[in-house]
Amino acid sequence: MITLGIESSCDDTSIALVENGTRVISSLVSSQIEIHRRFGGVVPEVASRKHLETVLPLLRDCLDSSGIQLEEIGQIAVTSGPGLLGPLLVGLSTAKALAWYTGKPLIPVNHIEAHLTASFLTAGREPEYPFLGLIVSGGHANLVFVEGPRQYNCLGRTLDDAPGELFDKVARHLQLGYPGGPVIQKTGENGDQKRYTLPRPMSGKGYIFSFSGLKTAVMRVVAHEGDNLSLPDLCASLQLAVSDIFVEKVGLALKETKARRLILAGGVAANTVLRNSMLKLAKKHHAELLLPTLHLCTDNAAMIAAHGFFTAHLAPANSLAVNAVANWEMGGPYHF
Instruction: Give contact residues for Zn ion (rule: CB under 5 A).
Output: 137, 299
Q: Measured between alpha carbons, how far is residue 296 from residues 24, 68, 268 in Å?
A: 11, 22, 11
Q: Any alpha helices (H) in 17-84, and if so which ranges?
A: 33-37, 44-66
Using rule CB under 6 A, residue 167 touches ligand KG4: yes
Q: How many residues bind ligand KG4 (CB under 6 A)?
A: 19
Using rule CB under 6 A, residue 156 touches ligand KG4: no
Q: Which is nearer to Zn ion, 161 or 233 (CB)?
A: 161
The full length of the chain comes to 336
Backbone φ and ψ of 113, nearest 5°? -60, -40
Site for ligand KG4 in 171-190 (CB under 6 A): 179-182, 185
Q: Which is nearer to ligand KG4, 13 or 75 (CB)?
A: 13
Using rule CB under 6 A, residue 168 touches ligand KG4: yes
Decide: 55 and 32 in contact? Cβ < 8 Å. no
Q: From CA 4, how far away is CA 78, in angstroms rounded?
A: 8
What residues contact residue 201 under an 8 Å CB cut-off, 6+ apart?
209, 210, 211, 213, 214, 245
Site for ligand KG4 in 243-282 (CB under 6 A): 266-268, 270-271
Report angle CA 335, 1, 100 to the nearest 5 degrees: 45
Task: Give which of Zn ion, ligand KG4, none residue 331 binds (C-beta under 5 to 8 Å, depending on kind).
Answer: none
Task: Give which of Zn ion, ligand KG4, none residue 5 binds (C-beta under 5 to 8 Å, depending on kind).
Answer: none
Tell me which of 3, 7, 8, 10 binds ligand KG4, using CB under 6 A. 10
Q: Which is nearer to ligand KG4, 250 or 268 (CB)?
A: 268
Assign 258 to helix, strand or coil: coil
Amino acid at 166: L
Binding site for ligand KG4 (CB under 6 A): 10, 137-139, 164, 167-168, 179-182, 185, 266-268, 270-271, 298-299
